[in-house]
Structure 1
């Protein structure tokens, strides 16, 4: 593991047990968690994107707010549901934010996960999908999105202004942004497909496969297939692709930690249904730092990944979430090969113990 970040699901509402915990409070707290994480030295602040639910939806204003108050941390998503997006407008927004943040945007995108609305992308005006899950339009949009951020000309120019046959690219352009796009893959096939597209691989706390193997083994197999396909397609002379996995990890360093998270460490991988797929769900890691280190060293996917995202209980507030991130940064991550950003050193936070 070279870097770690956090992944927030952005839940809010009265069901969270906090009176007045609405969308505004949730977003403002997300900014404060991002700022605090940057000071600790955490490498990435990532957010889930959902629609028609009391969760974070349009990510760009949030990412922009965090980027404006930080200096080093990557700001990104895990993942944007392409079924709901205008790919050219998304490309413009992503490029603008990347320029404003000096190249710190890292967007995870994919077909997306199940949403509360039935074929909700059609309510957004995106019709024509022949797939009940909308995978066809998601991939078509992704293809156009990548062409746009790579500077390809995607629209006919007005011949009165440019002459016959001219084509236009989106503006602004942010060179290098395409190297920081991730595809959220759930299976071996989609992992290999991501390699063929020349984008990074993002794997969540579940995969849409169930073979009886632990989640870590399934993800490691996907990573191996992804990297092999990358070399076949792109060779070894260009940039190295990045791979990220997500985990629920809670270091127990105080009595309060033990009270809040202690029982969760007894969980195990599970099998269940999601969006019609029989899927493997990952367990929660909750233990004292020395135990966590050994558990995570035995997690093959964590060891094989370049980046690990800690899923955080964002609804629990700023202080608890920064405590989780600081505990991991101080007591666990250095033993796993973590390379922090420089913000933590500049701000005096101890990164090792």
Structure 2
């Protein structure tokens, strides 16, 4: 594990006791947390993207604000649902964000996870033939990658008063580093292999749509290995990178024990999208015990980047304490060094 960071779902709404966390509160707090983590030397500040829900939905404004106020930390998504995206507009936005961030982008994209509505992407104006929209996401991905690679997309108008010319025009702005900052979220071994074949980095899902009686970390480690083999066999230049996500709460104070002491659990098996799936466990323990548990989690030890899923609705200070405790008491024992 070379890098670690956070992944925020961006939940907002009623907190109980007459208190409400507004969408504005949540966005501003996420920016403040990223600034504080940048000062700690944490590597990534990521946000989940969900539509039709009281969560983060439009990542580019918040990530641009994070990037503009920080200097080292990578900003990213986990993940943007490609069924909902205009691929050319996303190419423009992502390039602009990558330029603002000076290449500090970890752009996670995917077919997306189940939403709170039925085929919500159709209400955004996009339609596919596959029941889950996989064909739509695949088409959008193809065009998005072509655009960010600088391929000419539209024929120039020789009669245009704004330059004209002949040939094909690429999407602008163009960021040379963007293609190397694209990660694909994968929930299956087959998807991980395709990700390696296409030369994207791998963002392994918080659940895997398979169940073979193995620990979640072992299933995920097999996925990471299959991905790296596919990257190598495809002959891509550069180094393939992998990330996994975990809910991890170091308990160092009595308040930590009250908040998170009952959160620890085991891997779970359930059904999502009609598929029998394995869900990762939550870790909550004193640092020495956490280190022991995480060293036994093969995927954590074999990934390049570990993202902590944080309870963002608690606010900046509790989440910063989680991150700082992990950075100080746990991460160095797993191989991490502050940037």
Q: TM-score range by the shorter chain?
A: over 0.9
Give the alignment partner of residue 269 of structure 2, picking from 262, 268, 271. 271
Match of 1:70 in 2: 70
Partners of 2:223 and 2:300 in 1: CA distance:
13
- TM-fit CA distance, 1:227: 0.5
Partners of 2:235 and 2:323 in 1: CA distance:
36
Match of 1:305 in 2: 303
Q: Map 1:1-353; keep pairs closer than 5 Å.
A: 1-14=1-14, 19-127=19-127, 129-161=128-160, 162=164, 166-234=167-235, 238-265=237-264, 267-341=265-339
- Contact 2:9-2:47 at 8 Å conserved across structures: yes
Partners of 2:165 and 2:257 in 1: CA distance:
70
SS at match of 2:108: strand
Per the normalisation by structure 2, the TM-score is 0.97
- 1:94-142 deviation per Cα after TM superposition (whole angstroms, max 9, x unaligned): 1111111111111100000011121111100112x11111010101101
- TM-fit CA distance, 1:16: 6.2
- Contact 1:38-1:70 at 8 Å conserved across structures: yes
- Contact 1:208-1:277 at 8 Å conserved across structures: yes
Taking structure 1 as reference, are residues 17 and 280 closer, same or farther at Cα in structure 2, changes over 3 Å only? farther
Partners of 1:334 and 1:86 in 2: CA distance:
41
- Contact 1:13-1:22 at 8 Å conserved across structures: yes
- Contact 1:204-1:247 at 8 Å conserved across structures: no
- Contact 1:188-1:225 at 8 Å conserved across structures: yes
Per the normalisation by structure 1, the TM-score is 0.93
Partners of 1:292 and 1:205 in 2: CA distance:
19
- Contact 1:16-1:315 at 8 Å conserved across structures: no
Partners of 1:209 and 1:16 in 2: CA distance:
37
Where structure 2 has 5 or more consecutive residues not aligned to the other structure, the ranges are: none
SS at match of 2:261: helix
SS at match of 1:14: strand
Taking structure 1 as reference, are residues 262 and 126 closer, same or farther at Cα in structure 2, changes over 3 Å only? same
- 1:4-45 deviation per Cα after TM superposition (whole angstroms, max 9, x unaligned): 010000000015667231111111111111111111111000
- 1:134-166 deviation per Cα after TM superposition (whole angstroms, max 9, x unaligned): 0101011011111111111112222434456x1
- Contact 1:198-1:230 at 8 Å conserved across structures: yes
- Contact 1:9-1:55 at 8 Å conserved across structures: yes
Partners of 1:22 and 1:52 in 2: CA distance:
15
SS at match of 1:144: helix
Where structure 1 has 5 or more consecutive residues not aligned to the other structure, the ranges are: 342-353
- Contact 2:209-2:277 at 8 Å conserved across structures: yes
* RMSD over equivalenced CA pairs, Å: 1.2
